[in-house]
Amino acid sequence: MHVSNVSIAIIVFNMALGLLFPIVLMLVVKRKYQLRVKPFFLGCVTMFLFALVLEQIVHAVVLGSPIGSAIQNNFWAMALYGGLMAGLFEETGRFVTMKFLLKKEQQNDHNAIMYGIGHGGIEMTFILVIGMVNQLLYSVMINTGQTESLLAPLDASSKEVLQQAFESLVNTPPYMFLLSPVERLAAIIAQISLSVLVWIAVTRAGKKFWYVLAILLHLLLDAVAVILNGLGISTWLIEGVIWIMALSFAFVAVKVWRANRMEESSTGSVEE
């Protein structure tokens, strides 16, 4: 068995992109709009706390219950449940952080972008860096003939799982490893867009419906991705749909942003 050197190079590229892209994007926005880094780091913490801790606790409780078994046995219900939980926890996390921890930053709308980079950026880092570590290590072990030493102490079931992982790495065409960064770039666009909607809900009186819309859009994005994948649709076609949805979210966010700033500009209350 041998993993293509091109595949390994793309895996390393993915890891570097996942680590550097959010930081570079944050620095560019920070410099352009003269912002503090606080919203960025709070976005990172909020994503981790609400999506990777609190949401997972709820999943453990709900999916471990009788109703959870019913959800898991129904493909459509599982897609909707997963999307709804992601939307509820992430958008509520955004709302709480923006309302209570970013009070001093609420006068500058560009902090919504800074927050979104942190929220989506930490997710990108987890998937492209931490998620790729095993692929890189396994690839090196395969190409240096060290797989037997890793498999030897394992039981039959674990050996089979790991052997399948090795075979997947060997048989996957190099270009398929580009799927992860393509998806993550679309995801960070969606995360920034949703952050803008929740920001408007927090900072403008009578605009809480944008928070509700953010939840519904998040649900839609996640559910559609799961459903299309479950239906066996081409992976690249799924990524195309995700990009269309992410860009649609961005279009909505820009329209909402401009409408609110024009409204405030007409009353002389907007700050540049």
Residue range of the domain that includes 135:
5-262
pLDDT score, position 272 = 43
Angle between helices 75-96 and 38-47 (to 10 degrees): 150
pLDDT score, position 152 = 86
pLDDT score, position 169 = 94
Number of domain units in the chain: 1
Residue 130 in any domain: the answer is: yes
- Contact call for residues 98 and 80 (beta carbons, < 8 A): no
Residue 267 in any domain: the answer is: no
Instruction: Tell me which residue of 58, 64, 178, 184 sits closest to 121, measured CA to CA.
Output: 184
Residue 269 in any domain: the answer is: no
pLDDT score, position 268 = 61
Residue 81 in any domain: the answer is: yes
Residue 221 in any domain: the answer is: yes
Residue 268 in any domain: the answer is: no
3-15 per-residue burial string, b: 16 or more CB within 10 A, e: under 16 = bbeebbebbeebb
- Contact call for residues 117 and 26 (beta carbons, < 8 A): yes
List the Cα angle 105/111/114 in 5-degree steps. Answer: 135
pLDDT score, position 106 = 96
Residue 37 in any domain: the answer is: yes
The Cα 252–Cα 247 span in angstroms is: 9
Q: What is the full per-residue pLDDT of the chain (272 aa) written as tens digits? A: 899 999 999 999 999 999 999 999 999 999 999 999 999 999 999 999 999 999 999 999 999 999 999 999 999 999 999 999 999 999 999 999 999 999 999 999 999 999 999 999 999 999 999 989 999 999 999 999 998 888 888 888 889 989 999 999 999 999 999 999 999 999 999 999 999 999 999 999 999 999 999 999 999 999 999 999 999 999 999 999 999 999 999 999 999 999 998 887 776 655 44
The Cα 96–Cα 94 span in angstroms is: 6
